[in-house]
Amino acid sequence: MSPVIPIQVEHGCQDAPVLRERGQREVFCGLTGIIWLHRKMQDAFFLVVGSRTCAHLIQSAAGVMIFAEPRFATAILDERDLAGLADAQEELDRVVHRLLERRPDIRLLFLVGSCPSEVIKLDLSRAAARLSQRHAPRVRVLNYSGSGIETTFTQGEDACLAALVPTLPEGAASSTSADAADAAPELLIVGALADVVEDQFRRQFEALGLPHVRFFPPRHTGALPAIGPRTRFLLAQPFLGDTARALEARGARHIPAPFPLGAEGSAAWLSAGATALGVDPDHSARIIAPWRERAQRALAPHRQRLDGQRIFFFPDSQLEIPLARFLARELGLQLVEVGTPYLHRAHLAQELALLPAGTALSEGQDVERQLDRCRAARPDLVVCGLGLANPLEAEGFTTKWSIELVFTPIHGFDQAADLAALFTRPLQRRQRLAA
Ligand code: SF4
């Protein structure tokens, strides 16, 4: 039996030209990541140090949580803090002390920087070190930036995980680093996944003969994985460049693979992880084949609806290139333009190779120019941020909010049809409105 997926393809976009734009952008900030991270890490708390705007953003993005004990909040910087009239460090200490007294369940506290805290140069790393010392060993305090200055919304997760990496325990030692690198490797999956997806992947790796796969971030701080030269990691999300760099600095090695979106991507991703840990590729192919075939059957009705539709991606989530690969290859969509905020060539190499040759790629944004290209092309479906979706709908375009793709479980075989449905639904809605 041949390997599950031909990862090396003759054509593709590995060396394709990329239109780079640096103009006005329409994206959410990294605070948005708190919405899915606080659900994942169940004994962590995210304290945004920001303004009322920041508080409003995460409250509205998270929906109303009036009846729950939330795991995020905002310490609001008021005019006195912003004018330098109050000692913001002292106030922060008081807020953290009150919070930890009231919430003994918190084991890990993130101080999350924002545009206002960065503008007044509030040193949150100093605060985190001081508060960590004060509240050790019960609570560890870390900091990262969720500021919207020159970032996009999925970078919040990257910054959060990169801040956690230096605190991870040391992987099993060996007599020499060369021995350690060659000793039995351990597989780590990197990127926040919905619990249901994590459980599916865990079972699938177990079926492939790998029962000890670890996930980062874990659900509880007690399960933080050890890192070292034996660690081999698969990225579950394409926006984790800083986290990957931090893991590599600890001796871990990245496993190149497409991302687990759709039947093809999930098969290639699982297969790459298993092969890196010494599982025979033919054996993996035999185990994976029925999962892949089931996902392909579930995708068939979506392909009937989506085949030949023209799609335009504005840069927003950094998921655009893996999504475009899935939509083009498994559902027959035509890619008008695939925009992404950042193009990490190494992490996306296999994705680019699988894209149809000649795909128009763009990196960064000059929103007015891109809107002009979109209007001229008249695509059937536009994937974009919330700020662009309503005006484009008003102009008669059919849109899909890219943020929904991050909030919804979309990874793996069992979610492939749900992922496709996220693209069929707006087209069906438009058809109903036109009828
Ligand atoms: S961090 Fe910056 S962009 Fe994000 S809500 Fe606060 S002020 Fe706005």
Regarding whether 403 and 334 lie in a shared domain, the answer is: yes
**Minimum CA distance residue for ligand 1 atom 7:** 115
> Is the distance from the beta carbon of residue 50 to the nearest atom of ligand 1 less than 6 Å?
yes
**Residue 352 within a domain:** yes
Residues of the chain with pLDDT under 70: 1-11, 63-69, 84-86, 173-182
pLDDT at 40: 94
Report the atom number in ligand 1 closest to the C-alpha of 146. 1
Last residue of a domain, one of 86, 117, 151: 151
Rg of the chain, C-alpha, whole Å: 22
pLDDT at 182: 58
**Residue 278 within a domain:** yes
Report the atom number in ligand 1 closest to the C-alpha of 57. 5
pLDDT at 293: 98
pLDDT at 435: 75
Regarding whether 113 and 51 lie in a shared domain, the answer is: yes
**Residue 214 within a domain:** yes
User: What CATH number does residue 313 fall under?
Assistant: 3.40.50.1980
Report the number of distinct structural domains present in the chain. 3
Out of 31, 49, 59, give the residue to mutate to test ligand 1, the one with the largest number of ligand atoms within 8 Å of its CB: 31
Helix ranges (DSSP H) in 172-280: 177-182, 195-207, 241-249, 262-276
The CA distances from residue 394 to 117, 339, 382, 388, 430, in Å, are 36, 22, 13, 10, 12
Phi, psi dihedral angles at 145 (to 5 degrees): -105, 135
User: Using an 8 Å Cβ cutoff, are 222 and 67 in contact?
Assistant: no
For residues 92 and 97, what is the distance between their CA atoms, to the nearest angstrom? Answer: 8
**Minimum CA distance residue for ligand 1 atom 2:** 115
The H or E element that residue 295 is part of is helix 281-306
**Residue 292 within a domain:** no
Contacting residues for 389 by C-beta, under 8 A, at least 6 apart? 382, 399, 400, 401
* Host domain of residue 70: 30-151
pLDDT at 173: 57
Chain segment 354-367, per-residue pLDDT in tens:
999 999 999 998 99
User: Using an 8 Å Cβ cutoff, are 418 and 409 in contact?
Assistant: yes
pLDDT at 187: 98
Largest CA distance in the chain: 72
The CA distances from residue 146 to 70, 302, 430, in Å, are 18, 36, 35
**Residue 158 within a domain:** no
Regarding whether 430 and 304 lie in a shared domain, the answer is: yes
pLDDT at 179: 55
- Ligand 1 centroid to residue 112 C-alpha, Å: 11
Regarding whether 309 and 262 lie in a shared domain, the answer is: no
pTM for this model (two decimals)? 0.92
